[in-house]
């Protein structure tokens, strides 16, 4: 009986952790936009790009700076004005970390 109680408690803790993680991935930046990665497809080179959209899905826009062939991860800054991302640029040999403004400008 004691083992069942411990298993139930462990299951509940794992479930709560999983729900928190899923909720974090859908959190809009403070500017109200959702940030996500998506393959462009078509004739574009394979690899993810950075997209922004309103919470209802409208206003979809690709803010990936020119020359990036694969974005690996992206995240809002706490104030919602900057995006940090890791990606592969066509002029480099490896993945590096970059910053851009929320509109895709100001690559650093």
| Under 8 Å between Cβ of 100 and 81 | no
pTM value surpassing 0.75: no
Residue 64 neighbours by CB under 8 Å, 6+ apart: 49, 50, 71, 104
pLDDT tens track of the chain, all 108 residues?
454 544 444 444 444 443 333 333 344 556 788 899 988 776 666 678 999 998 888 999 999 999 998 899 999 998 888 999 999 999 888 899 999 999 999 999
| Under 8 Å between Cβ of 60 and 40 | no
Q: Tokens 């929320």 belong to which residue?
A: 102
Length of the chain: 108
Residue 106 three-state SS: coil
């Amino acid at each position: 009986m004691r083992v069942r109680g411990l298993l139930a408690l462990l299951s509940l803790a794992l479930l709560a952790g999983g729900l928190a993680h899923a909720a974090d991935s859908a959190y809009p930046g403070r500017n109200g936009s959702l940030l996500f990665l998506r393959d462009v497809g078509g004739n574009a080179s394979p690899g993810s790009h950075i997209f922004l959209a309103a919470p209802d899905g409208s206003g979809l826009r690709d803010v990936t700076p020119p020359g990036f062939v694969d974005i690996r991860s992206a995240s809002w800054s706490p104030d919602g004005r900057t995006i940090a991302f890791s990606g592969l640029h066509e002029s480099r040999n490896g993945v590096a970390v970059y910053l851009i403004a929320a509109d895709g400008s100001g690559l650093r």
